[in-house]
């Protein structure tokens, strides 16, 4: 899954694609480079980010969603707002990416009515305050229980299928993120496929000292290959070509080990 943030303030690519034409070109390039899905978002959810109005989020995302869908891309809409999601699905998006964890009944209704699969992401708290003091007794058990419950409710209410995402960095400290990555299998107990997004996140800064998010590809690849090895079905990434190469090599290595 390639990331296209149509925002001025996203933590790692803010401003780069804050223009419909550039955002569409970036999405099409990601498809050429091997992305199966292009994830279009119009609100930064980085810690402390300012909220965006519904009208502004729609204005940013809908033209990009429509153009990418017209060009044949499978588009997911990265939004916590059911009204924006509904419009994006009408404009051609086929998947809902809800970092709000599908808490809102109206979000479930919108996805079910459109027959759209949903990525359910776990978040503790709200983006504005979520990194102040995230706390868990057992992060794997708690995040897993949330995701499995949310999946059950969604499927009962007519959402056709779900993917589950531990929400790295969303109300989680470095140790929490690493614990979740190390126990991805236990997290969902095979309830649904898992999606992981560690791309350029601040855990990599904490572990390596790299302050510039655009220079965090090496750390991203390590975390994402570990996630793939633990069974992640999809990775949400800013650098598609580099991940395609890494995954090709990793898959060949895995196959060689199985047949050796």
Q: Which one of 108, 200, 216, 236 is the catalytic residue?
A: 236
Select 4 or 66, whichever has its Cβ closest to ligand HH2: 4
Select 99 or 159, whichever has its Cβ closest to ligand HH2: 99
In the complex, least distance from residue 244 CB atom to ligand HH2, rounded to whole angstroms: 18
Please select the residue that binds ligand HH2; options are 2, 23, 58, 78, rule is CB under 6 A.
78
Query: Does 121 contact ligand HH2 by CB under 6 A?
Result: yes
| DSSP string for the chain | -EEEE--S--TTTTTTT-SHHHHHHHHHHHHHTT-S-EEEESS--STTPPP--HHHHHHHHHHHHHHHHHTT--EEEE-S-HHHHHHHHHTT--EEEETTTT--HHHHHHHHHHT--EEEE--SS-TTTTTS----SSHHHHHHHHHHHHHHHHHHTT---EEEE--TTSS--HHHHHHHHHTHHHHHTTSS-BEE--TT-HHHHHHH----GGG-HHHHHHHHHHHHHTT-SEE-BS-HHHHHHHHHHHHHHHHHHHH-
| Residue 201 annotated as catalytic | yes
Select 147 or 168, whichever has its Cβ closest to ligand HH2: 168
Q: Are 250 and 236 in contact (CB under 8 A)?
A: no
Choose the stretch contacting ligand HH2; rule: CB under 6 A; options: 39-47, 80-88, 202-210, 224-232: 39-47
Q: Which one of 108, 148, 201, 216 is the catalytic residue?
A: 201
Please select the residue that binds ligand HH2; options are 24, 27, 28, 41, rule is CB under 6 A.
41
In the complex, least distance from residue 197 CB atom to ligand HH2, rounded to whole angstroms: 3
Please select the residue that binds ligand HH2; options are 168, 181, 221, 228, rule is CB under 6 A.
168
Distance CA 187, CA 110 (A): 27
Query: Does 16 contact ligand HH2 by CB under 6 A?
Result: no
| Residue 205 annotated as catalytic | no
Please report, for residues 101, 236, 253, 254, 255, the alpha-carbon distance to residue 258 in angstroms, rounded to integers and kept in the order given: 36, 27, 9, 6, 5
- At 117, list the tokens: 């699969």
In the complex, least distance from residue 126 CB atom to ligand HH2, rounded to whole angstroms: 13
In the complex, least distance from residue 229 CB atom to ligand HH2, rounded to whole angstroms: 18
* Among candidate residues 196, 171, 173, the one with its CA nearest the CA of residue 183: 196
In the complex, least distance from residue 201 CB atom to ligand HH2, rounded to whole angstroms: 7
In the complex, least distance from residue 66 CB atom to ligand HH2, rounded to whole angstroms: 20
Select 117 or 167, whichever has its Cβ closest to ligand HH2: 167
Per-position x/- string for 86-105, each x denoting binding to ligand HH2 as judged by CB under 6 A, each - no binding: -----------x-x------
Which residues of this chain interact with ligand HH2, rule CB under 6 A?
Answer: 3, 5, 7, 10-12, 41, 44-46, 78, 97, 99, 119, 121, 165, 167-168, 195, 197, 236
Active site (catalytic) residues: 201, 236
């Amino acid at each position: 899954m390639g990331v296209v943030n149509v925002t001025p303030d996203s933590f790692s690519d803010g401003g780069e694609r804050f223009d419909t034409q550039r955002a569409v070109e970036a999405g099409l390039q990601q498809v050429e480079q091997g992305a199966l899905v292009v994830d279009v978002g119009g609100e930064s959810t980085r810690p402390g980010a300012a909220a965006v109005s519904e009208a502004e989020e729609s204005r940013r995302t809908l033209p990009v969603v429509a153009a990418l869908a017209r060009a044949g891309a499978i588009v997911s809409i990265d939004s916590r707002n059911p009204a924006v999601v509904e419009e994006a699905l009408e404009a051609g998006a086929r998947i809902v990416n809800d970092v709000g964890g599908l808490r809102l009944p109206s979000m479930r209704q919108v996805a079910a009515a459109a027959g759209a699969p949903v990525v359910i992401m776990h978040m503790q708290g709200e983006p504005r305050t979520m990194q102040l003091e995230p706390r868990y007794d057992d992060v794997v058990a708690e995040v897993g229980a949330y995701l499995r419950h949310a999946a059950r409710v969604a499927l009962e209410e007519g959402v056709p299928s779900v993917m589950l995402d531990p929400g790295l960095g969303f109300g989680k400290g470095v140790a929490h993120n690493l614990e979740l990555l190390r126990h991805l299998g236990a997290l969902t107990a095979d309830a649904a496929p898992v999606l992981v997004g560690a791309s350029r996140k601040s855990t990599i800064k904490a572990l390596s000292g790299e302050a510039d998010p655009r220079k965090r590809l090496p750390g991203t690849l390590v975390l994402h290959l570990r996630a793939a090895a633990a069974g992640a079905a999809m990775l949400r990434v800013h650098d598609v070509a580099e991940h395609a190469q890494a995954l090709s090599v990793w898959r060949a290595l895995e196959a060689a080990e199985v047949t050796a």
